[in-house]
Structure 1
Amino acid sequence: MELKAHAALIIIDQQKGILQPRLGRRNNPSAEERILDLLGFWRRSGRPVIHVQHLSRSPESVFWPEQSGVDFQERFLPQDGEWLIQKQVPDAFCATGLEAKLREAGIGQLIIVGVATNNSVESTARTAGNLGFDAWVAEDACFTFDKADYFSTLRSAEEVHAMSLGNLHGEYATVVSTGHILAAG
């Protein structure tokens, strides 16, 4: 697998609200460090970086626009020349113009990282794959939270993360490690 010169790094929902303890127990405590590894590599190589910011429609959300949780974490602030995509639903393609911007820029390969694995990351990766993009998900640069399944069985964040990646791999995206991506670049 080859990392293209114009591959875009899509960083999903790295906002202050995702750090709220009320979201519960999470997996992959080093995910942010892996995202920063990729972000540094992307910036040094001049590849496109896309920051996705969730603006929730729900006042109970950690991403409700009228409080500080909606703001990007300092370490993930967009820099000049980087794209900002604002979304109101988990899928970064839905009603944002992202697909048109990518096609206009000639970008066909997407590296997707961020939160939550089973929500915005999975939703965005599914659409990317369905639209024909070469989507990669960095499994160690994503995380999620403990969650009850449909039948009320509590699943650990590790189980939720693994199932989400399993849903994506081979059908919608290629799931790889950060190390693999950096080695391919």
Structure 2
Amino acid sequence: MTLPQFGKETALIVLDVQKAIDDPKWASKNNPGYVEKIVNLLTAFRAAKLPVIHIRHDEPNPASTYHTSGAGNALKPEVAPLPGEPLIAKSVNCAFIGTELEKNLRDQGITRLIFTGVVIHNSMDASIRVAHCLGFDVILPQDATTAIDVMDAKGVRHDAQTVFDLFAAVLASEYCTLSTSQDIIRALP
């Protein structure tokens, strides 16, 4: 698929790429190179002088690897914001709920969002769906996100790749366009 040429109306969203994701609880990830793809996108967006917005999950539950006062709350250093790049904290799975994200985007005239981060079946899913409902054009580079194994209510474990493929298919059916990091980089000015 050929993407349109991107300009100042396009922002890169880096969602929940925190040290918490390296906890053994999250070890079943598919797509092991997803952070490298996010770094490539960050480098390209910065070189093109296009907006980059970082989202950090500040989990109030002390049992979570993302807990606000836990070691896992810190952003992974390779994706940390540079001066001038906004960092927005959220406390629920959706990046738009209880945050200034929508206002920040509208104030900058941003209409297209490139979502990267973790995990496709939680915060990525919730945030992409809401972004679409708010009228943003959303693109998901599939190689710049990941999933983990999911246990259903019947005790059946669904492997990370199956979870990933299902959520990508559902999101693409209505809420976003699927792409790759390389295709997105080619569409940058």
TM-score by length of 2: 0.94
1:7-156 correspondence runs (5 A)? 7-156=10-159
Structure 1 position 150, deviation (Å): 3.7
Superimposed CA distance per residue, residues 63-113 of structure 1 (whole angstroms, 9 cap, x where no aligned partner)? 101121101111111111101110001100011021111111100010000
- What is the CA–CA distance in structure 1 between the aligned matches of 2:147 and 2:25, rounded to whole Å? 13
Task: Kindly indicate whether the alpha-carbon contact (under 8 Å) linking 1:135 and 1:174 is maintained by their aligned counterparts in 2.
Answer: yes
Superimposed CA distance per residue, residues 45-64 of structure 1 (whole angstroms, 9 cap, x where no aligned partner)? 10010110000011011110
- What is the CA–CA distance in structure 2 between the aligned matches of 1:15 and 1:64, rounded to whole Å? 11
Task: Kindly indicate whether the alpha-carbon contact (under 8 Å) linking 1:54 and 1:63 is maintained by their aligned counterparts in 2.
Answer: yes
Task: Kindly indicate whether the alpha-carbon contact (under 8 Å) linking 1:3 and 1:181 is maintained by their aligned counterparts in 2.
Answer: no
- What is the CA–CA distance in structure 1 between the aligned matches of 2:173 and 2:108, rounded to whole Å? 26
Aligned to 1:160: 163
Aligned residues: 185
Point out 4+ residue stretches in structure 1 off by more than 3 angstroms: none
- What is the CA–CA distance in structure 2 between the aligned matches of 1:134 and 1:17, rounded to whole Å? 29
Amino acid of the structure 2 residue aligned with 1:33: E
- What is the CA–CA distance in structure 1 between the aligned matches of 2:70 and 2:120, rounded to whole Å? 24
Structure 1 position 4, deviation (Å): 2.3
- What is the CA–CA distance in structure 2 between the aligned matches of 1:68 and 1:149, rounded to whole Å? 29
SS of the residue aligned with 2:67? coil
SS of the residue aligned with 1:127? helix
Q: Provide the alpha-carbon RMSD of the alignment.
A: 1.0
Structure 1 position 144, deviation (Å): 1.4
Q: Percent identity?
A: 35
Structure 1 position 151, deviation (Å): 3.3
Task: Kindly indicate whether the alpha-carbon contact (under 8 Å) linking 2:140 and 2:178 is maintained by their aligned counterparts in 1.
Answer: yes
Structure 1 position 149, deviation (Å): 2.6
Task: Kindly indicate whether the alpha-carbon contact (under 8 Å) linking 2:38 and 2:79 is maintained by their aligned counterparts in 1.
Answer: no
SS of the residue aligned with 2:31? coil
Stretches of structure 1 that go unaligned for 5 or more consecutive residues are: none
SS of the residue aligned with 2:36? helix
Stretches of structure 2 that go unaligned for 5 or more consecutive residues are: none
TM-score by length of 1: 0.96
